[in-house]
A and B are shown apart, each in its own frame.
Chain A
Amino acid sequence: MKKGIIMAFLAAGLTVALLAACASTPAYRLPAKHPNIYELGDRREFCTKCHGYKKTPVDFERYNHTPLFTESHRLVAYQDQRICALCHEQSFCNDCHVTQTELKPSIKNQTENYRRMQHRGEYLSRHRIDGRLDPTSCYRCHGNPQSSQTCRPCHG
């Protein structure tokens, strides 16, 4: 089964290469950084305000920071972290995506309440219910041996 999956993976990779060989779309390259305006990397902003709704070469509508963006950005982030890096330094992501920290994101940035960060307020009692209903949402950030240090004092 394992070999079959790996073979399928390789075959798909070859198909991708074949598609690439056939393609003739002119190359587009993202800039390294967005111009630093209006504290852009620290704000929850809508890219389409300036960039509009044109779909190519970048579909900026996809990256609009909706009020629920904190919880639903992973699908777009997995696909090209360079888009995130246009406005955010890696340290910005490390507020949540971190190997080890003692300050939950909402405490580290207590006055930036417009960012709707995870676990805002008293979360200790609420996490019993959220964790029971959807442990996968806990696992994403607390699943590895280093980051699960926040869980181990109580849960082992």
Chain B
Amino acid sequence: MKLHKGFTLGVTMLAAALLLAPVTGSAASLGITSDTIVRLYERDDNGGRQRSLLPVYEFLRLDYTAPKTPGLSLHAYGWGRVNLRDDFGNADDTADGELLYAYLDYLDPKNRDYQVRLGRQYIFEGVTRESVDGVYVKTDLVPTVTASAYAGFPVNVEDVKGRGGDWIYGARVAQGIPGRYDVALAYKHTGNHGSTDEQFLGADVTLLLPASITLLGHTTWNLVTGGWGEHSYELRLPFKAFELRPFYQRYRYEDFLNRRPGGSAPFRFMSQLGEKVDIAGTEAFWYPAENMEFGARYKHYEYDKRYGAADMYTVLAAVRRKIFSEVGVEFGRVEGDIAQNRYYLGRAYVYWDIAPAFVTADVVYVNYDDGNVYSMYGKDSAFFASVGAGRKFLDKALNVKLSLDYSQDPYFDKDYRGTLAVSYAFGK
């Protein structure tokens, strides 16, 4: 079934677009992007069964601008996968796919005062980060006010019982002066098989203070459970080549980790523990030159019931050369209350552009304070390395990338993987 919804639909869409292109669209009004990813790896199962896996993925995107109707455009994106050797272990895993979005967009061509979208689309704003089959409207018609609303069927709650009784609707109203401040209220209601699955109220704020200090904040109220789900507030304090970003977050699991049916068991379980967590810390950045950056982050976790406090430290640095080349290092430490919740992380990477080609390398090493637990098979470290290379052809429209990965970790003694990715942008 997924095959029909995703892969076949995507291939059909490409075929239709290619057929229509010479008739209705010039290269400027029609853009098609194809990403083909071929992965090769061998796996040994627990039972001693060896599997050779060769999944081939196709990610296909279409963007079409109607030349005779200013403001009207069509956008679609989906993926499909077939296995050319063994399947992933389940009978229905031979092929899969998903239509991620396919919508018509109309943006007021005269003043850009309003926008209407119709079809499957992702909505990111206020309390919403959802995939919706429906309609979305946004308007700036009233001075200093931006209002948006949407309604339709939520894609994320679809299950084997189908979509009967599923619905989603919501809105966000913001008032502000761009760049100075804005205050917004948002609402979201999700229904699943006839009953309320989620109902959130949210508020977000941005405020520019003296000395270019900025306050950002976001709060949600769960109307189903009757409690505050999240408070996230952050200050941004720039000072010449430095910037400090202290933040504070508070989550109440019962109100944030929704007990929605169909979700994964750990979230449903944790939402019943009555736990709260306060997270406070800061990010800090230093830019000594335009091509050089240093960053650091400290996070402190304080729990109400279950665990003792925890700390997370990250420091990193990156140097760039001529926009595209970059070399970076990172070091991290997670310090939980017990040894099982502690690890060190180190990473180094390079992306070097030698146009029209590039080479990459990436190494990640993690050392666990205590690997002597059931789920770690007695191992206390994980090592990952990846090298890659690529080259652009046809005036950068065709991009061929190859990467080889190696991993030695608690779950794999020696894991080798190869990935070939071919991207082609028609109409570029």
Contact = CB atoms under 8 A, between A and B. Distances in A.
Contact of B175 (A20, A145, A152): A20
B134 to A, nearest CB: 14
B77 A16 contact: no
Interface stretch (B14-22, B42-50, B232-240): B232-240
Contacts of B144: 19-20, 23, 25
B184 interface: yes
A142 B238 contact: no
Contacts of B155: 99, 146
13 contacts: A2-B226, A57-B178, A67-B285, A67-B295, A78-B124, A94-B77, A98-B98, A103-B37, A120-B364, A122-B383, A122-B412, A138-B267, A148-B263
Interface residues of B, number: 140
Interface string B129-167: 101000000001011111000000001111100000000
Given A25-B177, A107-B419, A114 B297 contact: no
Interface in A130-156: 130-136, 138-140, 142-148, 151-152, 155-156
Interface in A72-130: 72, 74-81, 84, 89-91, 93-94, 97-103, 107-108, 110-114, 120-122, 124-126, 128-130
Contact of A20 (B101, B145, B383): B145
A13 interface: yes
Contacts of B87: none
Question: Which of A67, A101, A120, A130 gathers most chain B CB within 10 Å?
Answer: A67
A67 B186 CA distance: 30
A59 B253 CA distance: 34
Contacts of A84: 124
Interface in B405-428: 405, 407, 409-412, 419, 421
A10 B405 CA distance: 54
A146 B175 contact: no
Interface string B350-378: 11000000101010101010000001100
Contacts of B216: 62, 75-76
A102 B366 contact: no
Interface string A8-31: 010011001101100111011110
A72 B283 contact: yes
A58 B184 CA distance: 17
A94 B77 CA distance: 9
Contact of A19 (B175, B204, B336): B175
B178 A121 contact: no
